[in-house]
Structure 1
Amino acid sequence: MQETERKYDVPSSSDTSWLPPLDRVEGITSVVDRSLEELDAVYYDTDDLRLYGSSAILRRRTGGSDAGWHLKLPLPGDSREEVQAALTDALPDALRDLALSRTRGAELIPVVRIRSSREVRELVDAEGAVLAELSIDAVRAESLRAQGRSTAWREMEVELAKDADPALLDAVEKRLREHGIARAQSSSKLARALDEMAPVPAGERDEAADLAEGSAGEQVLAYVREQIRVLTALDPAVRRDRPDSVHRMRVACRRLRSCLRSYRSVLDREVTDAIRGDLKWLAGELGAERDQEVLMKRLTRGVKALPKELVLGPVSARLQAWNVARGS
């Protein structure tokens, strides 16, 4: 599922008199209170916070209507893609695999526990359809890596309902700003918890810091990093067979491999030649999948173009079964 939301800083008091009447926002005719929810989430990451560093979040949450495992992957703007799995004691292998391009095989461990008492209000239109959900959270966070470290705050989220107009978020935010309610500085509860309880590890040394500004090495490294970011982001999509993801990842492999070959004079070939070999292998694997995609599209299109009297039996179903069998 895709979630689109914005977070806001709110007063620490439990009194909500600061919240302006949102039924005056265009499109919203009423605000409906719902029951209080108690949420308890444990966030997982590598010891050096590789998921957090790539704007991804993995948690196991109880309470609320969507208890279970949640892997959140970044999308442009205010949106994120959320992949959910059933509530189990152990991390599901499917989610572990989807996080692999970011964790690079490092162990995933509990890093933060966040408990929230959530007041939920629904923003409803004239026909009774829910346009967005407004949540006011009293948050308590504790570090699971540094004993005794904890923090607490209050925040508000406005999450757009499925298929609702994204312009609604701008209209709601305008009304909130008029009453002194500003957007939160932190992108997530995890980000704020880590910021307030412990500094994020510096990670590996930035090699680009040693390069002269505007030099060929700086420019090449910037391009290499962008292609690595693309590969990392596309990996979960390829594993779930998302449309066009195989083709786009194959293009990124080709671009990165070409860059490593073309700029050998400013790169360490003892390192990059081995990477080029790996990229060649990956592109070959993706090429086989891409060929299957193209062939399936052509066969499907060809069947649809035939006169109905020439298509005997469950041809489309057989094509789908053949495609699945080839893919496995």
Structure 2
Amino acid sequence: MADTKREIERKFEFTTPGAEQRGVPDLTGTAGIAAVVDQGVTDLDAVYYDTPDQRLAADGLTLRRRTGGHDSGWHLKLPVAPGVRDEVTAPLGDTVHQMRVASRRLRSALKTYRKVLDREVTDPIGEELRRLGTELGADRDREVLHEHFRTALADLPRPLQAGPVRGRLRTWNTTRRAASRRRALTVLDSPRHLTLLDTLEALLTDPPLLPGAAKPAAKALPKAVLRDYARLASRVEHALSLDPGQEADRALHQARKAAKRARYAAEAAEPALGKPARKFAKAMKGVQSLLGEHQDSVVARAALRELAHQAHGAGEPSFTWGLLHGREEARAERVERALPAAWAEAAAPGLRAALK
């Protein structure tokens, strides 16, 4: 998560001969200073970024990527008043995740509001955003899955941890981490990604608006949100009609993506529609979270089967991986039992009527 702090900078000049050579004076006892503590020396390495025509600097903005110290990551400084700036800091790993989320939100908005924006222009952009989200997601998904398995193993009694399960998990994670991070860096450094950034800037500068963009927001936005709801309803009802199994898993996954799109659509409309859109988005988020838990179980079971296969091939017991696989099956079954009631609540007609 990004963190924001207020930075106040004051500069003082030496006024007496030789003061500069003596260094910084002892500030203990100065108003507003409780104590002066030596924190040692930290090596910091920072790279600063700007546009070719230095628009950030012209507006008093500073963007840097810094390593070393307790706050390694991206730092964005925004001017507030003379000598006062707000600094937004985001960890390096978190920034990739946030880029992935932003890509998905934008792609979703381009699809939802296709009556407002020319699809001949936005569809190719949406495809590039889809590819970017997929490429960036590999490392994040691995990280989340690894932490989930670590927690699951920690919760198991020792007698149920058969063989070198922690070492096996560490090897599995390390192998994938190196590959996924190389992949993400390659994507972000590619000419294709730079072209996408230029395309997005052009989209903001000159959006391809259709005549529908001239309609009042109070009329156009509810229709777009409700179209996405209808898409979600169709997918949920189809998934609920299926018996448990791989086909149902795929249908629930498609419903999850539709729930996310309906949620994003409502959140984008909230500035114009207010509380009704906020309540609708909250309901869609609840459905998305439940379906997301089911999909997490599907992905976890596939990884556990892979771990069990690797353990077996190395002559290690696969009992523990099978046990965790069974627990993931039970988690999916709990979601499947809870879904009908959760969907009935989210599909309450009043939530949709309030949008109109």
Q: Specify which structure has the bigger relative contact order, considering alpha-carbon pairs within 8 angstroms and separated by 6 or more residues.
A: 1
Greater share of strand residues, 1 or 2?
A: 1
Greater helix share, structure number:
2
For normalisation by structure 1, the TM-score amounts to 0.35
